[in-house]
Amino acid sequence: MFHGLEAGQAIVTGGASGLGEATVAQLVSHGMKVSILDRDREKGPIVAERLGANFIPVDVSDAESVEAALSALPNSSPLRVVINCAGIGGAAKTVSRGKPHDFAKFSRTLGVNLVGTFNVASQAAAIMAATDPINADGARGVIINTASVAAFDGQVGQLAYSASKGGIVAMTLPMARDLADKGIRVNTVAPGLFLTPLMDELPKNVQDSLGAQVPFPSRLGKPEEFAQMVCSLASNPMINGEVIRLDGAIRMAPR
């Protein structure tokens, strides 16, 4: 299915919950060796054991932490697939009650979502670039990042989140071009309204109301559907430098 990538190993940041956890499960089901890179030292090992994966703690916003995590990967097979799902949310307006957006919160959001994605992608790419190609095309691996429809349809209060996800979208094509001569593809998934742990905390009627905003299918997306898209991007060798909205045709309203 993965045209030789499955003979190597994969990492999934933020793989201890939500979209990342579902992605780990699907990759493992396809026979791939997977390491979960996550900051949750309590839940991470439990999820990894249940899914048949490996767990390595990491703070994606810290370059040294990422370097240490990648150095701790099993050396039984080369790194071929990198999935960046780690991210945080939060809401605040540019100006609220006369006060500007908190700088620390803005920086933290970009630090985890955008800089964290860059940290993992760039360091992992250097590792993959040093491996032998797997086919006549010279393929060495694939990086798949996670943005959001907020990159395009940011709502009121999503300033920091939208900026961080928009940065991931903008980074996709130049990164793919940078790594083309090394045989490493780069794509991004921009999910819409999905049933993540954060969404699951909302009352059922609120979830149903949000799902009804999606044109078709009129429901919240399932994490397994996100994972399916990730696997499709990993398996198709011609998809490169692409950002794909996975959103049921929704376009978010201002509020």
Q: How confident is the model at residue 4 (pLDDT cuts 50, 70, 90)?
A: confident
> Which residues sit opposite 96 in a β-bridge?
99
| pLDDT given for residue 2 in this prediction | 82
| pLDDT given for residue 121 in this prediction | 98
Domain presence at residue 110: yes
Domain presence at residue 253: no
Q: What is the residue range of 130's domain? A: 5-246
- Return the sign of the alpha-carbon dihedral for residues 92, 198, 63, 133: negative
* Domain tally, the chain: 1
The one catalytic residue among 2, 161, 194, 226: 161
Domain presence at residue 252: no
DSSP string for 170-194: HHHHHHHHHHGGGTEEEEEEEE-SB
How many angstroms separate the CA atoms of 195 and 227, rounded? 13
Q: What percent of the chain has pLDDT over 70?
A: 100
Could you tell me if 62 and 37 are in contact, meaning their C-beta atoms sit under 8 angstroms apart? no
pTM exceeds 0.85: yes
> Which residues sit opposite 55 in a β-bridge?
36
Domain presence at residue 28: yes
Domain presence at residue 255: no
Cβ neighbors of 155 (< 8 A, separation 6 or more) are 162, 252, 253, 254, 255
Domain presence at residue 77: yes
Q: How confident is the model at residue 199 (pLDDT cuts 50, 70, 90)?
A: confident
Three-state DSSP at 158 gives strand
**CATH number of the domain that residue 103 is part of:** 3.40.50.720
The predicted-structure confidence for 125-179, as pLDDT tens digits, reads as follows 999 999 999 999 999 999 999 999 999 999 999 999 999 999 999 999 999 999 9
Q: Is the pLDDT of residue 206 over 90?
A: no
Domain presence at residue 183: yes
Q: How confident is the model at residue 90 (pLDDT cuts 50, 70, 90)?
A: confident
Determine whether 220 is an active site residue. Answer: no
Domain presence at residue 232: yes
Q: If you average pLDDT over every residue of the chain, what do you get?
A: 96
Burial of 56 (0-12, 13-18, 19+ CB in 10 A): buried
| Better pLDDT: 174 or 1 | 174
How many angstroms separate the CA atoms of 4 and 201, rounded? 39
Q: Is the pLDDT of residue 88 over 80?
A: yes
The predicted-structure confidence for 36-87, as pLDDT tens digits, reads as follows 999 999 999 999 999 999 999 999 999 999 999 999 999 999 999 999 999 9
